Structures are given as C-alpha cells and as structure tokens.
Structure 1
Amino acid sequence: MAGVLLTETPGGDPFAEVAAGPVLAAVLAEVVPAALSGQHAAAFMRAAARQRNHDDAVLLRALQQACRARADTVERVHDGQFAPGIAAAGLGWSETMASTRYMLADHVFDRVPALGEAMDSGYLEERKAAIFASATEGLDDAQCARVVQIVLPEAGGLGYAALRERILEVARAVDPDWAAARLAAAVAAARVSARTAPSGAVDLTGHDLPPDLAQDAKLHLDALAGELRTRLVFLGSDIGLGFIRARLFLRLLDGTLAGADDHTVLDAVFTELCSGIPRDPGDGPPDEPDGPGPDDPGPDDPGPDDPGPDDGPTDDGTPDDTADGPRREPDDPGPDDGSGATGRDREPDEPVPAVLAHRRGVSLRMRLSTLLGLDDHPGAFPELGGTPAASARRAAAELGAATWHVLVHDEHGTLRHLLVLRAPPHCARNARHRRRTVEITAPAALLDALLEDAPAEPWLAALLTAYQRSRDLPPDQHPATTTRDRDRRLPGAALARWIDARDERCIAPGCRALAARCDHDHTLDHHLGGPTQADGLGNLCRHDHRAKHEGGWHYHQPEPGRFVVTDPTGTVHHTGSRVTHPLPDPVAAETPVPRSMLEHRPAPERPDYTARPTRDGHYTPQSLATAAHLA
C-alpha cells in the first residue's frame, strides 16, 4: 500500500511555522506567487490550502452557531429539524445542502472534536472531514473517536478514495457486527436503475450489489472484453475497451444471446463490431501487433485507478518494457487457461474456452488470522474495496482454483517472505478463477507461534513447511535479495511476483493504480546501469511511468520499497510500500441492542442486521423495517 509519507521543501518551507488563521492570511496576502521558485511555489500552495481549510472550519462553526441562535439572547437551541433553514435562507442554499453542512458541523465540533481541531489547524480539509462522517455512520461516539484516532494522522497523505478505504477498514475492525449489518442492509435494498442523460443515452446501473458477485461479474466482463479486443486488434480496429465492455454488457442482458456460452457470445459481438471495420481480404495480421493481450486493460481503457495515457516510453526509450497488465518472461508462459494457448499466443479465429478464465490479478486479500477465525478483521476485493470478514471468508472458499500467495511480513508491515501455495482442500475449484490470485497476509510472529504448536491440518502444515524453506533460502535465491536477474532486461517470474506483492499499487504519490495495471520500472533506468533486482524496481502505472521519462519526475529507492520522489517543482515526496496496516481490536458499542431486536436472527451464513438507535434513543421506521425484512 503506497502512500505519501512525508513532503519536504529543499531549503526549508517559509510558511510551515505560521499557524493557519489571521497571521497566515496576512502573510499569504503579501506573496506574489509568480515571483516564487518552484519549491516555494509548492510550499505557498500547501500554505494556501491550510488557510482555506481553516476558513472552512470558521464557516462551519458560524453556520452551526447561527442555526442554533435565537433573537435577543445568547442561548442556543438544538433543533435539528428546522435549524438548517436558517442557513438556507441566509446563504441562498437549498435545504438539502444546508442540512448536510449543519450535520457535518455537528459531527466535527460536537461528536468528534478532533476533526474540528484538525480543520482549525488547516491539516484537514472539509471534504475529508465529510468522508470521516459518512464512512463511520452508525458507529457510536467512542467507536468514531477510535477510528479518527488511528486514521487522522494518515489523512494528509491519502487521496479521497484511499482515505475512505482506510477509514472503512479500521471501522470494520472496530465493530465487525456494524460492518456486517451495514452491508446486509445495503444488499437487501439492491436494485437496478435506468437514467436517460441529456444526450439521450441511457445509464443502466446496479446499486448495492453483493461485492463478491459484483467482482465476479466485473472480472468475467473484463475477460470477455479483453479476448474480443485481441481479435479486433488483429483487424486493425481501434475500438476502445470501454465501448467493447458496454456492448458485451448489453448483449449479455438484452436476451438476444440467452443461453449462449462465452464462445458464442464472443462470436456474435465480434461479428457485430466487425461490420463497420474496412478490411482488405488479402491483408494478414499486422507483422508486429503491439496491442494488449486478453489480460491487458488496453490503451483506451487504463482503468479507474489509472486516469492517464498508457503509451509512454520505456526505461531506455525502446518498446520492450512491460506494458499494463501482467508481465511475463520467456520462462514464465503463465498458467494454462484451458484453451491450449496462453493469452498472447491465441489466434483470433482459434476457439476460446466455454467459460473464460478471469484475467490475472488479485481477487481477494485477507489476513491469515481472519481466515483461521482468530479475529474478524476485514478483507478486501482489490477491484472494488473492503468487505467484512464473513464475506471475505465466503469468497476465499470459492477461490480454490486460484493461486494462493501468503505474504509474510514483519511488525512494520514490510514484506519478508512470499509463499506460493495451492488453496485449502475445502475450497471450491471453479476453472474461471484459475488465473486469479488470493493474497493472505500473515505476521511472521503468528507463523512462528504456529510452528511451535505443529498443527496437524494439512494446509497449515504445508504453509509452515514453505515458510521454513523460505527462511532457509540463501540470499541469492530469495527474491528480495537475489541478483540472478540483475543484468536481464525484465525480471523473472519470482522477482516479478515479489515486486507486485510488495508494491500492490503504483508507488507514485497519490496514485491508486493496482499492480496488475503497472509496469515494472527500473528506478535507475536500465540503460544507465539500473539493476533488475528488488531494490532497483518499483511498480509505476503507465501514466506515472511516462511522467518519469517525459514530465520531469525523478525517483530514488534508498532501500527496497522506499522511494524518494522529486516532482518538477523540486519538492520531495517520500512514499513507501507495506503489505498491511495495523488495525485496532473491536470497541464495544456503548448502546446495547434491545433483546427484541435479536429474537429473529438470519441463518448463520448471512450476517445479522440489528437497527441502531438514534442519539436520543429512538429507532427510525426505516431501520426497523430493514431489520424485519432481513429477519
């Protein structure tokens, strides 16, 4: 998990010691930004952001006090129903907007004062405060305070999506029952909506879908689209992967291909899309097709985590650097997908499997302690986000055909060993998952304790045997320290796996691109002598890879997985990779759940939902109705 750990200005930040408020406002007013050097312009930008955050806190506090004030008195009235109307009338806002800001003010100043203090100091912006409020909805005050205590110090270096994921991860650990209840309540209201845009096009959207089924649906659609795009590339088509996905999505749902297998679906949509592609019958496939294979996102669809283009240069200006998606050496042809050909080798007219295997990547991440039932820490579907422990365990049980990686880390979350195993024998083996990966993180201390107990369970015994074997490897055989690939252009299979496990996302500051969409970049360009080894490689998405070569960004890796990034202004950012972050123990809810709400529990395989009372002890009709529906 890469993120900005520290930002520093060479030569010092002239605004760093000035507290947000009137003094900083006066200092900023005297500055002529156009006269600043790059480093000081970036420092000025950060100082202006701190001042804005402080001003937002002033406005929220003023709004809160005005909505509670009454004429000719300094007494305050807590009237949540009609109070926001005062702000709406005074500021020209809608009732909805005024109510939203009023509730946020109540959250950051009364319920979790640490958020208000962070906004006052300029450290936390209003939108991030709102993310804290929405992501912890339903937790009581003590639980909210615990989440904020852990995540607030990290908030400055996290983007909005990353911050929400981290808050939810910690919140699910603080109250696993709340997490399961919240998911169950949402899934109980699952629906599909259609909305006509002003252009006349239609958005057809599924809402509140079960995350495990939604990820499988997305991966299946991605696999079909990737296979179809490979065929179209051979015909010289430049149809974007997004358009192909959309056409497949409609054809799978509109009934015209009801009952068809994947092969028939691909043939039908291929014929449909080919109808508009001009082609000379005598033309063969391009001599050197350089389009992406069936597993690759493709240049027209870099994916939600990589908004930039993906056709940039390589380390030495040649086209042999790895592209988005999985990287393979000649000695790593990749698992067989049942078709008799690997992804890049299949001809466009060659039969494809009746059920396409999902493209390579990580389907599930969870902790070994959670898998073993020792705790209820959340897991994650990397393509979608976090999920409660019960959902993660169910998903793991369905991924028996996937490759299982156990990432052994130290107390700091740094990767130390990467163990490649088969799934536990009780897991279902569905062929479409065979090209996917399950990542299980495990602290070395836990495995050391299990070694002392000598468990008889076969899968655990195999895991511990692999752990002992990895510990005994000589340095030149361990992927973290080997130099066997040092002079090769691309890393071998073992080293590539190590880099993808260590750097699960792009190591550029703020980027969230998953490892499967990244290049294995030489921190020091290969043609300049950069070694192909763990302390010389890092994952960069294609956009940030291009920025490194064309945009004036510079990278240095003083130790494996730790990067010093200098942006074009000269500002230095420190980023680092870790395979897990610390999570708290559960915090008991202050308000006990009434016995009447516990009388009708769902079956054990489905999480229970129990309504939480409001702060004044009442249950809303909506929460009671949802509980009754689930029961």
Structure 2
Amino acid sequence: MAAVLLTETPGGDPFAGVTAGPELAAVLAAVVPTELSGQHAAAWMRAAARQRNHDDAVLLRALQEACRARADTAERVHDGQFAPAVAAAGLGWSETMASTRFMLADFVLDRVPALGEAMASGYLEERKAAIFHSATEGLDDGQCARVVEIVLPEAGGLAYQALRLRILEVARAVDPEWAAARLAAAVAAARVSARTAPSGAVDLTGHDLPPDLAQDAKLHLDALAVELRARLAFVGSDVGLGFLRARLFLRLLDGSLAGADDQAALDAVFTEVCSGPPTDPGRDPGGPDDDGPDGPDGPDGPDGPDGKGPDDGPPPDDTDPHDSGAEDTDPHDTGADGLAPAVLAHPRGVALRMRLSTLLGLDEHPGELPELGGTTAGAARGVAAAHGAASWHVLVHDEHDTLRHLLVLRAPPHCTRNERHRRRIVEITAPAALLDALLEEPPADPWLAGLLAAYRRSCDLPPDQHPATTTRDRDRRLPGAALARWIDARDERCIAPGCRRLAARCDHDHTLDHAFGGPTQADGLGNLCRHDHRAKHEGGWHYEQPEPGRFVITDPTGTVHHVRSRVTHPLPAPLAPGTQVPPALLARRPAVERPDYAARPTRDGYYTPASLATAAHLTRRLAARAGPPPPGDEDDDPPF
C-alpha cells in the first residue's frame, strides 16, 4: 500500500511554524487569497484545516465540560446517561447526535488523550478521530492506546478508508480474540434491508455478511458483468458496468432465472438489455460500486472517458495492461473450441493477502481481502484453504517492508481446488529473515521445501534475470509477464495520493513517458488508475521515481508529495485486556472517584439499564442508612 510520507512546499511554507489556535487564526485572517501563488494557496488550505481541527478539539472539550457542569458551581458530575441531553438542547441536535459526540469527546479527551492532543495541535481531524473510536470499539483503554500509538503517526497521510483498514489491522493484531468474537457476533446478525430512496428507486443491501462468501459473491457478479459488457460492446451497445451489475444482481435474486447457469443468466440479461433498458444505455450513472470499488466507501476516483495522454497515455478499455503477450497465457482459459466455460472464472486480481507466519499458525495476525478489507487470521486461513486453484505468490520483503523477491508457486496440496478461482492470486508476505532462518533447518513439509527452493533460486538470479533489476523489457511498450507481476506486487494499489484503486484495475504507467525515453523496467514503472493516469497527462501532475517504489509527485499547485510503496506494515504483539501500558499513554485521564455501588460501563463504554437501575437503588439505600438513627436506639446493642 502506498502512503504519503511527506508533503512539502517548494520555497517554504509560511504557515508551518505557526501554532494552531489564536496565533494561527490571526495569521489566516490576514491572508489575501488572490495574492497567493499555487504553492502558498495549498499551504494556506492545509493551515486552515489545522485550525479547524484545533477548533473541533475546543468544541469537544466545551461540550464535555458543559454536559458535566452544574448550576452555580465549578464541580463536574460524571453522569453518562443524561449528560448528552445538555448538548442536544443547547446546540439543537438530536439526542443520538449529542450522545455520539459526547462519547467521542470522552474517547479522545479522557480515554486516549493522545488523540485529543493531536486534534488540538491541528494534526488530526475530528472525522479521523471518530474512525479511531468506531474501529476500536470493544477494546479496553490500554489496547486502544496501543493501537493509537502505532497508527496515529501514519494517520495524516491516509485517506479515511485506508485509515480505517489500518486501524482494524492493528486492532486485530492487538487482540485476535476480540476480532474473532466481533466478526462472529456481526455475522450472526446478518440481514438484508430494503430502503426506498427519495427518487422512488430502492436500495437492496446485505449487512454483516461473512467476508469470504461476500468476496466470492462480489467477484462472481463482477465476472458476469464484465462478460456481459463485452457481449454488448460487440453489438455496439455501450452500457456501464454499474448498471449491468445491478441488473444481474436483481435477476439472480428475483427467481426469474431459477436453475439457470451463468451462461443462461448472461443470455437472458443480454436479451433484456438489448431490447431496451429503462435508462439511457450509453450513460453509466456510476455510484458507489461503479467499475469496482476498493472498499466499503466506494471508489476514490471515477474512471474517466477513454483517451490517451500526449505520448504515454493509458491504453483503451479493451486493452488489459496486465495481459502483455504470450508470456502470460492462462492454461485454464477456454480451449480451441472457443466456447466460454459454463461457470465463469473470477476476474484477475488478488483474492487474499496474509503473512506466512500466520499461514503456518505461528501468530494470529490479520489477513486482507483486497476487494473488501481486513479479516481475522482464522478467516484468512479459511480463504487460503479454499483457493487451491489460484496462483500463489510469496512476496519476500526486507526489514523496511520493501519487496525483494517474488516467488510464484502452486497452492499447498491440502487446499481445495475450485475452478472459479483459477485466475485469482493468493499473496503471502514473508520477511527475508524468516526464510533465512527456515533455510538453516529445512522443513519436512513439501510445500515449504518448494518455497525455500524457489527463494534460493531467486537469490541466485543474475541482475538481468531478476524482475527488480532486469532491463530485458526496457525498450518494449508494455512490460512482460514477470515484470508486470512485480509491479503489481510492489504497488498493490494506485500510487496517487489518496487513491485506493487495486492494481488489477490500474495501468502500468511509465514515470517518464515511454515516447521520451522512459524505460520499461522496475524503476521506471508504477501503477496508476485510469483517472490518475489521465490526470498525469492532462491535469498537470508530475511524477518522478528516484528509486524503485519511491515516488515524488508534484501536484498542479507545485506542492510535492513523497510516496513509498510497501508490501506490508509492522504489527504489534497481542495485548491482553487489562495489561498495564506505559503511563504516558494514559497520563491525562482524570481520576474519577467512584464508589463500589456506582454503575460501571461495559467494555464498549455503555451503561446498561440494569446497571443504572441497580446503582440508583443502592444509592437510595445508602442515603437512607446515612440518616440519624431512630429515637431511643442510640445505645442499643445490635441484635446479634
């Protein structure tokens, strides 16, 4: 995954040394926007965002203090049940909104004060703080602090969905049992809902579905839609993938195609669309799943219309940049008869990414389903076991998470072979240190022995045969199969800042245009989605690659973004609930004296009605007992 490591302003950022708060507010108020250069306009934008983040932290503090305050006194009452009503009444919010913001204030100011400090300094925005809150729900304070300690330094360079996935990845590593229980509880509540939109159209949605089944269902739908669009294009009908997915989705569920196989379903929908769909067949309305989203939040950038850049533009839609010639033929594809299989294979792409140590059961680190997001170690091992027909790629990386070797293997013999998965890839990441240690005592397992043999051969390859250093394809327009695999493994997603388009949906872009002498080799290529590829050629973006996988990207304002591709990220060891953590992580949490009979929140921070009722009953009993004794009983001995 590529992340922005540094953003810099050539010539200096005039706002960089100004502290967020009254000082920065005064500086921003004095700015004359029309006099700013492009670089300084971008710096002004970032400074204004810092000030807004600071103001949001002030609002959360004010909300918390007001909800805990009482008339004519400076004392504060920690009453989580009725406190948010003060904010709801004072700010014109609903009780739900007020409760949500009050719990966020408690989380960032008291439970994990590092987040509140980051907001006050302007580094972290409120929405990202809320993502920390929701993604770590159910972890105790120490575990939350550990997650924040690791992810907070990265948060500034990650888009919302990327940040959520990174937090969940670390949280699952911190408490694998919590992650497994949370997934099981959600799947147990799986459901389908229907909601009528203001337009009269209907949203039919599945919630809390098992991740392995959901990914297969989505990929199956994608494969059908791609095949259907190709058929329609052959007869001159241009219909967007989003519309085709929706029509197939409905027809596969409404019972009209009951008992039909994939080809019969395609034939039926093809005939239906050709007879005249209810919307303009030449217009793709897009939407959150158009052309394949890369996460629950949908695509981060639309695919633009076809068209080449000045000299090295993206290929047209009917050209797959990942299929670059005979070197990449698929032995499982249709045979000489030219007939499509009765059951379509899922489209090319990575089905699963997990660590070798997790696959071997040495740890419980989470895995990733790239089409959907992260998942637990147990679920990842289950997906791996079901992908015996897929191609298995082992990504060997160094201590800096930089790709060093790419080993292509068959699946372990115990894996189930499902022909739907024959074009998919299972990526296993492994530190070189682990493989070096295994080489000292070769394992008896045949698959591991084959992996180590492939690793040894890769280490012995001469530079011109290793995809990271080869120049064999230097003068070709498109990379060969081995080099294409290397680029897709190194740049898992589009390298443009903030984009999360998967490598399988990206173009292999020449950092320096091929027409201007840009070489087709590892240090001259990078993955760019169609939208960002066009932006490079038509939108004023400039890319440089000082070393393989490290990009210096200059946007149209002149602001420079430093981006580096990594095949994995460091993860912490598990931290059991209640484990002592460094005092500095929780130093600012106020010490609240609470008697034994007070209501106690659950691990999620909520007060149940039963706990509140019990606490109220005990409080009344204590108050009654605290009164003066009945007359005449002062000197009586107790009756025992």
TM-score if structure 1 supplies the norm length?
0.88
For the 8 Å contact 1:613–1:620, the answer to whether it is kept is no
Partner of 1:545: 533
- Cα offsets for 1:148-194 (capped at 9, x unmatched): 00000000000100000000000000000000010000000000011
Aligned to 2:385: 397
Q: Does 1:301 align with 2:291?
A: yes
Deviation at 1:308, TM superposition (A): 2.2
Q: Which moved more, 1:264-273 or 1:206-215?
A: 264-273
1:339 counterpart residue number: 334
Question: Is 1:502 aligned to residue 497 of structure 2?
Answer: no
Secondary structure of the corresponding residue to residue 479 of structure 2: coil
1:161, 1:534 → 2: CA distance? 28
Q: Report what 1:90 is aligned to.
A: 90
Structure 2 residue 276 is the aligned partner of structure 1 residue 276: yes
Distance 1:302 1:356 in 2: 17
Whether the 8 Å CA contact 1:324–1:518 is kept in 2: the answer is no
- Residue type at the aligned position of 2:458: S
Counterpart among 554, 571, 578 of residue 566 in structure 1: 554
1:161-176 to 2 correspondences below 5 Å: 161-176=161-176
- The one-letter code sitting in structure 1 at the alignment partner of 2:301 is P
Does the CA-based 8 Å contact 1:2-1:578 persist in structure 2? yes
Change beyond 3 A, Cα 1:325–1:78: farther
Instruction: Report if the CA contact (8 A) 1:370-1:376 is conserved.
Output: yes
User: Gapped runs of 5+ residues in structure 2?
Assistant: 278-286, 581-600, 612-640
**Cα distance 1:159–1:620, how it changes in 2: closer, same or farther (>3 A)?**
farther
- Answer yes or no: is 1:467 the counterpart of 2:467: no
> Aligned residue for 1:154?
154
Change (3 A) 1:323 1:512: farther
1:564–1:591 CA distance, 2 compared to 1 (3 A): closer
Letter in 2 for 1:5: L
Question: Aligned match of 2:368 in 376, 380, 397?
Answer: 380
Change (3 A) 1:619 1:429: farther
Shift of 1:8: 0.3
Equivalent position SS for 1:16: coil
- Compute the displacement of 1:202 (Å): 1.0
Query: Corresponding residue for 1:115?
Result: 115
Which stretch of structure 1 is more off in the superposition, 99-108 or 197-206?
197-206
Equivalent in 310, 323, 327 of residue 322 of structure 2: 327
One of 533, 536, 539 as aligned partner of 2:521: 533
Alignment-mate amino acid for residue 518 of structure 2: G
Paired residue type of 2:36: L
Per-residue displacement from partner, 1:190-226 (whole Å, max 9, x unpaired)? 0001111122111111000000000000000111111
Within 5 A, what are the aligned runs for 1:424-443?
424-443=412-431
Shift in Å, 1:38: 0.6
**For residues 398 and 513 of structure 1, what CA distance do their matches in structure 2 show?**
25
The answer as to whether partners of 2:139 and 2:603 remain within 8 angstroms in 1 is no
Q: Distance in 1 between matches of 2:313 and 2:374?
A: 38
* Secondary structure at the counterpart of residue 411 of structure 1: coil
* Paired letter, 1:32: V
Mapped pair 1:220 → 2:220: yes
Is the CA contact (8 Å cut-off) linking 1:306 and 1:543 kept in structure 2?
no
Alpha-carbon distance in 2 for matches of 1:533, 1:237: 38
Aligned equivalent of 1:420, options 387, 408, 411: 408
Change (3 A) 1:51 1:4: same
User: In the TM superposition, what are the counterparts of 1:34-113 in structure 2 within 5 Å?
Assistant: 34-113=34-113
Match of 2:16 in 1: 16
Partner of 1:603: none
Residue 334 of structure 1 deviates from its aligned partner by: 3.0
Structure 2 residue aligned with 1:605? none
Is 2:308–2:315's contact at 8 Å kept on the other side of the alignment?
no
Q: Which moved more, 1:214-223 or 1:319-328?
A: 319-328
| 8 Å contact kept, 1:112–1:145 | yes
- The answer to whether the 8 Å contact 2:384/2:426 transfers is yes
Listed as ranges, the matches of 1:199-278 within 5 Å are: 199-276=199-276
Per-residue deviation, 1:316: 1.2
2:115 partner letter? L
Q: Say yes or no: does 1:579 pair with 2:574.
A: no
Note if 1:126 corresponds to 2:114: no
Taking the aligned partners of 2:433 and 2:15, their CA distance within structure 1 comes to 44
Match of 2:512 in 1: 524
Counterpart of 1:358 in structure 2 is 346
Give the Cα separation in 1 of the matches to 2:483 and 2:604.
Answer: 53
Match of 1:574, SS state, is strand
Aligned position for 1:136: 136
Measured against aligned partners, the alpha-carbon deviations of 1:292-311 in whole angstroms (never above 9, x if no partner) come to: xxxxx9x9736433522342
- Give, in whole Å, the separation in 2 of the partners of 1:198 and 1:547: 34
Aligned to 1:198, the other structure's residue is in SS state: coil
Q: Distance in 2 between matches of 1:33 and 1:475?
A: 52
The answer to whether the 8 A contact 2:172-2:366 is kept is yes
Equivalent residue letter for 1:301 = D
Equivalent-residue separation in structure 2 for 1:209 and 1:621 (angstroms) = 31
Alpha-carbon distance in structure 2 between the residues aligned to 1:258 and 1:531: 52
Is the Cα contact below 8 Å between 1:500 and 1:539 reproduced in 2?
Answer: yes
1:409-444 deviations in Å (ceiling 9; x for gaps): 000100000000000000000000000000000000
**Greater alpha carbon shift after TM alignment, 268-277 vs 506-515:** 268-277
Amino acid at match of 1:26: A
- Equivalent residue number for residue 618 of structure 2: none
- Distance of 2:568 and 2:391 partners within structure 1: 20
In structure 2, what is the Cα distance between the partners aligned to 1:451 and 1:620?
Answer: 59
**Equivalent residues of 2:221, 2:248 under 8 A apart:** yes
1:6 aligns with 2:1: no
Instruction: Quickly say closer, same or farther: Cα 1:414–1:428, change in 2 above 3 A.
Output: same
Is the 8 Å Cα contact of residues 314 and 320 (structure 1) preserved in structure 2? no
Percent identity, aligned pairs only?
Answer: 79
**2:199 corresponds to 1:194:** no
Query: Cα gap change, 1:319/1:545 in structure 2, threshold over 3 Å: closer, same or farther?
Result: closer
Q: Which amino acid aligns with 2:376?
A: P
Q: Secondary structure at the match of 2:443?
A: coil
Question: 1:312 offset after TM fit, Å?
Answer: 3.8
Alignment match, 1:284: none
Q: 1:105 to 1:175 in 2, by over 3 A?
A: same
Note if contact 1:403-1:422 (Cα within 8 Å) is conserved in structure 2. Answer: yes
Deviation for aligned residue 1:620: 8.0
TM-score (norm 2): 0.87
Query: 1:118–1:440: structure 2 CA closer, same or farther, 3 Å change rule?
Result: same
Q: Structure 1: where are the runs of 5+ without partners?
A: 278-296, 593-611, 623-631
Q: Which position in structure 1 is the counterpart of 2:308?
A: 313
1:601 paired residue number: none
CA distance in 1: counterparts of 2:363 and 2:345, whole angstroms = 32
Aligned in 2, Cα 1:619/1:83: closer, same or farther, shift over 3 Å? Answer: closer
Judge conservation of contact 1:326–1:360 (CA < 8 Å) in 2: no
For residues 508-547 of structure 1, the C-alpha deviation after alignment (integer angstroms, 9 at most, x for no partner) is 1111111011000000000000000000000000110001
Shift, 1:351, TM fit: 3.7
Q: What is the rounded CA distance, in whole Å, between the counterparts of 2:316 and 2:254 in structure 1? A: 41
**1:324/1:541 contact within 8 Å kept:** no
- Cα separation, 1, equivalents of 2:465 and 2:389: 27
Of 580-589 and 249-258, deviating more is: 249-258
SS in 1 for 2:526: strand
Larger Rg: 2
